[in-house]
Amino acid sequence: MSATSSGLLRLFRRCPPVDLAADLAPYRHFIVADRHVGWVDPDFARVLAEFPAVFYLTDRAVRLHDRLSDVEARSAAVAEVLATLRERGHVPGWRGELYPVNRRFGEAPLLLMERAATPLFGLQTYGINVNGLVRDGDTWRVWIARRAMAKHVDPGMLDLIVGGGVPHGISLAENLLKECAEEACIGPTLAERARPVSMTTMIINAAEGLRIGVQFNYDLALPADFQPRNDDGEVSEFQLWSLPQLEESLRGADDFMFDAALAKLDLLMRFGIVGPDDPDYLGLIAQLRRPAPFVRT
């Protein structure tokens, strides 16, 4: 597609990346065991101040109480507060999944927290993205899913064939097999062929709060006669697209959920559909790999 076509940096105007100095200035650091692990906006900080046995506020931070000295105690205390806030309507979209709270993937968690609450605390979370690819002569086609209208986040939007968060207590490989089975009825023998290829990050202000995500991207070559089927009610349909069709969609429409759009943009760049001659190329790379906005503590 010519350089005069719509620039792909438009994707980042749709969900502008958070600026550490400007956009996060009003936020308080969320501190656990003297480590900066998240960001809390002023309104939610005032809500947390109602639970002084668990949280206390300083000039620039919301701190988890020091008397909570291990993962079990911290997790239990925070779970009790979140259960109360859920009843008040402060934590919509409850998932019943625990996410690790840390600053680096694989690092021992400082506490475990309900997934739906993580954007309220501006925590770094982790997920997997799977590009389902089908050989088409000298090029590839890619499976696209449409999210069910019942989904709490981004209902009805376009998505990857398989994607999902990584909760506590499950490895990336185990989670990949689980999500492949649930979302597209891809059996373990086929799913094990998926290969890790890249990672993308995002730091955006979303309706549910501050989303700081690290996404591990996989490519999975699928047989031409394979037809994905959804088994958990989260997908309404699947479509098989050419890569030029995918590029056209990303350049001209906002049909993809944002983190899926990033994974698909990364795919187009890795496959040479979007190359260094694109005037946005360097800017796109910078936006796809933004570092987590934490300060040294």
CA distance 142 to 190: 16
Average pLDDT over residues 118-131: 96
Which residue has tokens 């946005």?
Answer: 280
- Note the pLDDT of residue 1: 39
- As a whole number, mean pLDDT of residues 155-184 equals 95
| Alpha-carbon separation of residue 133 from 101, 160, 200, 244 (angstroms) | 33, 11, 19, 14
Q: Which fold has domain 28-119?
A: Transcription Regulator spoIIAA (3.30.750)
Q: What is the pLDDT of residues 227-262, one digit of tens each?
A: 999 988 889 999 999 999 999 999 999 999 999 999
**pLDDT for 193-228, tens place per residue?**
999 999 999 999 988 899 999 999 999 999 999 999
Q: Which fold, 10-17+125-288?
A: Nucleoside Triphosphate Pyrophosphohydrolase (3.90.79)
Note the pLDDT tens digit of each residue in 72-110.
Answer: 999 999 999 999 999 999 999 899 999 999 988 989 999
Mean pLDDT score of the chain, rounded to an integer? 93
Record the tokens describing residue 232, joined without a space: 């958990």
- Is the pLDDT confidence value at 297 over 80? no
pTM of the model: 0.91
Residues 30-76: tens digit of each pLDDT:
999 999 999 999 999 999 999 999 999 998 999 999 999 999 999 99
- pLDDT confidence tier of residue 295, bands split at 50, 70 and 90: low
The answer to whether 294 touches 103, Cβ cutoff 8 Å, is yes
* Domain range list for the chain: 10-17+125-288, 28-119
β-pair partners for 145: 159, 238
Percent of the chain clearing pLDDT 90 (strictly above): 82
* pLDDT at residue 4, rounded to an integer: 38
